Structure formats: C-alpha cells, structure tokens
Structure 1
Amino acid sequence: MSTSTHPFLVRLQQATDDHDLDALVACFAPGYRNETPAHPGRSFGGTEQVRANWQQIFAFVPDITSRVTGHAVDGSEVWSEWELSGTRIDGTPHLMRGVIVFGLEGDRAAWARFYLEPVEHDGVDVGGAVRAQVHADDGPR
C-alpha cells in the first residue's frame, strides 16, 4: 500500500473540488469504460458521458467536495475509497461513499469499477436489509 496519495487520485480530487470540468474529463482516456457491477444498467463508455454526468453533478450540487479516505496501488490498478459531499440546489444534503477501482493507462483512467452509493441515514437495520435481499415478500420473517 502506498503511503502518499497516487498522483492520478490527486488530480481527480483537485478537478472535482475545483469544479473544473475540463480538468476532470482529462483524467479519463478517450475509450474509458465505467462498469457499475451492482447496477449494470448504469455502466457506460466514453468521456462524453463522464462530461455529461459531471455537468449535472456540478449543477445540482454546486458546493460538492471530495475526499479520498484510502487507497492502494497494484501495478496499473488504483483501488480508492471516496466520500463526496455537498448540498443539492433544493437544500437537501448530498453524501456518497464507496470504492472506485481504476485501471490506468499512463496518467489517465482507461476503466473503472464503480461502487459509490448514496449514504442512507434512515434506512433499515442490518436484519431488515438481509431479509429484503433473501426473502420473498410473502415468505417467513
């Protein structure tokens, strides 16, 4: 595990915190592929979609900030844990946490496996979450 933050993560975090859309998009290779294993329908390819996604994020969470809470490097793979926070334009809090695994080509991300999710403050407890995942609605509780 690296003791200092990987330069790619520093650039990506700085572009995010500066709300610099061009610098953020420049962190990704033209053929970038984003996989979202927990939500396969959200997977996409290309920097055009990176730009469209972040245009919306910057517009709807104008004070968004990011924090890399941990990372590890294995060759060209960078495993990173993130927190994104801010306030949406409707006044509600925005908080996401999770892991992004990046595959780098040079100093750009060629691919990522994206596991960032909204934080639930009033969700069900662990027992309810397990029941919801493994029991049918009409099964025993």
Structure 2
Amino acid sequence: MNHSNLLENLLHAVNSHDLDALVACFATDYVNETPVHPERGFRGREQVRRNWTQIFAGVPDIHADVPRTAIDGDTLWTEWELSGTRVDDGAFLMRGVVVFTVAGGLARSSRFYLEPVETVSGDVDAATQRLVGTPDPKEGS
C-alpha cells in the first residue's frame, strides 16, 4: 500500500463507517501529535479505535472528503473536511490538515490540525484583537 492507497483506504473506511478497516490503516505504535492542543496527542492505534467509535456513534452520517494532498518522501499532506449531523441534531463540520508519516503502507504518525468550523467569533479584526489582547475600538464609541 503506497500513500495514495493509504488515503483511499482511510476515506473508504470513514465513509463506509468501517471501524476495523479504519484502524487497520494505522501502525500499532502510531503517534498522533496535536500541536495546537498538545495534551490531546496520543500513541497507539487503540486510541484511534476509541476516538472513531465515539465519532461513528455521535455522527452516524459522517462523510469525509480530502480536496487536496501532497506527497514529499514519506510524508503525506492531506486537507480534510468531515461533515454530518450529530445525534443531538446539531451540525458537525470539521476542516483542517493532517500531515501523515507513512511507512509500510501504514500511518506511522501524524501532526493533526483538524478543528471544528465555527462561524460566531467575528471577522478577522475581532479575532486579531482577541489574539493580542487589544480592545475592540467599536466598543469604546
């Protein structure tokens, strides 16, 4: 299995909700790094199984799409969109990048930058002001 086969197998497993096929895409000693949320990183494909068991149960119609990819040696860069409806009828939408290290046709590790899409935090000015701790000039008027 090469990089393209790994991605094809991952997409098929997610979209067909095949937990065993999904878990089989990952090495037993798989390492997940989540740089934006360091405490969420983990080791081992059994955590992959626990995560996706919850996802398949919580978003029974989940669908994955990978609109863009790039390969550099043993690195597979992937841009993801995961969508569906949660069991509480809320919308589920995540987008972001997962950078896999592939060996022996399996995901050996990843750097995970996939996040829920949110639409309520305001425009880029509001986000920048929150980021650097400056007050919104509109609030002072």
TM-score with structure 2 setting the length:
0.92
Q: Which residue of 1 aligns with 2:126?
A: 128
Decide which of 74, 77, 80 is 2:78's aligned counterpart.
80
Runs of 5+ in structure 1 lacking a partner?
none
CA distance in 2, matches of 1:41, 1:88: 25
Decide which of 47, 54, 60 is 2:52's aligned counterpart.
54
Decide which of 68, 71, 79 is 1:70's aligned counterpart.
68
The number of equivalent residue pairs is 134
1 or 2, which has the higher helix percentage? 2
Q: Which residue of 2 aligns with 1:91?
A: 89
CA distance in 2, matches of 1:66, 1:41: 25
CA distance in 1, matches of 2:119, 2:21: 32
Q: Which residue of 2 aligns with 1:40?
A: 38
CA distance in 1, matches of 2:135, 2:82: 38
Q: Which residue of 1 aligns with 2:107?
A: 109
What residue identity is the alignment partner of 2:94? M
CA distance in 1, matches of 2:33, 2:131: 22
1:70 is paired with a residue of what secondary structure?
Answer: strand
CA distance in 2, matches of 1:127, 1:19: 40
Task: Give the fraction of aligned pairs with identical amino acids, expressed as a percent.
Answer: 55
1:18 aligns with 2:16: yes
Q: What value does the CA root-mean-square deviation take over the aligned residues?
A: 1.1
Runs of 5+ in structure 2 lacking a partner?
137-141
CA distance in 1, matches of 2:129, 2:4: 39
CA distance in 2, matches of 1:69, 1:84: 11
Residue 89 and residue 76 in structure 1: after superposition, are their counterparts in 2 closer, same or farther (change >3 A)?
Answer: same
